[in-house]
């Protein structure tokens, strides 16, 4: 399973600010408990799971994979 990076979390936080949402509002929108979303946002629930996909979908974000530069 792919690990969520700090960059992904940062992008999600920016998207929340842009929408004017709290983490609790996001949790409600995706049907998760606020504590779970908080754990996601601190990297404690850091693997890409269905919950992360729901969160990204709700915020209009997607993760893309690009080759690393050498």
Q: What number of CA atoms fall less than 13 Å from residue 27's CA on the CB side?
A: 13
Residue corresponding to tokens 């399973």: 1
pLDDT, tens digit, for every residue of 19-59?
999 999 999 998 989 998 998 888 776 566 677 788 888 99
55-64-59 Cα angle (round to 5) = 25
Is the Cβ–Cβ distance between 49 and 31 less than 8 Å? no
Residue 11 lies in a domain: yes
Tracing tokens 């709700």 back to the chain, one arrives at 58
Classify residue 39: in a domain, yes or no. Answer: yes
pLDDT tens sequence across 3-14: 667 777 888 888
Residue 25 falls inside a structural domain: yes
Range of the domain at 20: 6-58
Angle between helices 50-58 and 23-30 (to 10 degrees): 110
40 in a structural domain: yes
For residue 22, what is the domain's CATH number? Answer: 1.10.260
Domain total of the chain: 1
In a domain, 63, yes or no: no
């Amino acid at each position: 399973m792919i690990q969520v990076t700090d960059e992904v979390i940062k992008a999600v936080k920016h998207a929340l600010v842009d929408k004017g949402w709290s983490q609790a509002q996001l949790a409600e929108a995706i049907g998760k408990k606020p504590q779970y979303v908080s754990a996601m946002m601190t990297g404690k629930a850091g693997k890409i799971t269905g919950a992360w996909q729901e969160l990204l979908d709700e915020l209009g974000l997607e993760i893309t994979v690009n080759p690393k530069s050498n």
